[in-house]
Amino acid sequence: MNIYPAIDLVQGKAVRLVHGDFDQMTIYSDDPVQVAKDFLTQGAQFLHVVDLEGARDGEPRNEGVIARIIQESGLIVEVGGGIRDKETIEKYLAMGARQVILGTAALEDADFLHDAVDIYGESIVIGVDVKDGFVAVEGWRELSDMRLDTFLQDLSAIGVGRIICTDISRDGAMAGANRDMYRELVEEYPVRITASGGVSTLDDIRALRHIGVEGAIIGKALYTGGIDLTVALHLAKGEE
């Protein structure tokens, strides 16, 4: 199982929100590039970066610092937040991002989604944010009428290879991963599932590895000391 340390960006700073609420924001670092380098030092290989303002506003807001993270961190970087057109996909890939994450656009623009998967293949990851069984959009501010199971069936049918599924109710709340949901997703859908939201203990890491998810994204727990990244990386490999 892969471990993806997370850096969420607002105004060029590394922050964490609670349930996606900008009014519940904690700034953890004014230097996200150094945060990324520290993750590398602790043994990380991958990095999950989200432009929170981009997700909220529908267009990138932190491209400069994202470019520096990609170019200077030494990590394999995936980027999400406000990616709604081919130009933005190509811009991030040209910067050196390994993958780009489509969220709102994947749900609201079927033609764009199909084209992106056809053209960019494995470089496209779909971020599915869920609350009470429905998919949320616009930086989690709106709940769509699309059910999670229906959306995942559609994504599987068009050949999406990897999906990041975030339980909004647990994100940033240190409430533990929604293990039952991920178990069900792994059993029912022929895509690689990455767990996100509420991953807050080493027991979460053990459980998710046994469930069979592709990876786990860890955010707040790394910044608060709830999870030691080096230990988590070993557990993800089955090294107790």
- Catalytic annotation, residues: 8, 129
β-strand partners of 29:
14
The two three-digit tokens of residue 193, written as one number = 């599932």
Q: How far apart are CA 5 and CA 36, in angstroms?
A: 9
Rounded distance between C-alpha atoms, residue 177 and residue 226, angstroms: 14
**Alpha helices for 73-147 (secondary structure H):** 86-95, 104-108, 110-120
Element (H, E) at 188: helix 179-188
| Nearest of 48, 174, 56 to residue 101 by alpha carbon | 48
Q: Return the amino acid letter for 216.
A: A
- Residues contacting residue 184 through CB under 8 Å, at least 6 positions apart: none
User: Using CA atoms, how far apart are residues 76 and 123, in angstroms rounded to an integer?
Assistant: 12
Tokens of 41: 């030092």
Beta-carbon count within 10 A of 8 CB: 26
Q: What tokens does 79 get?
A: 């980027």
Rg (CA), the chain: 16
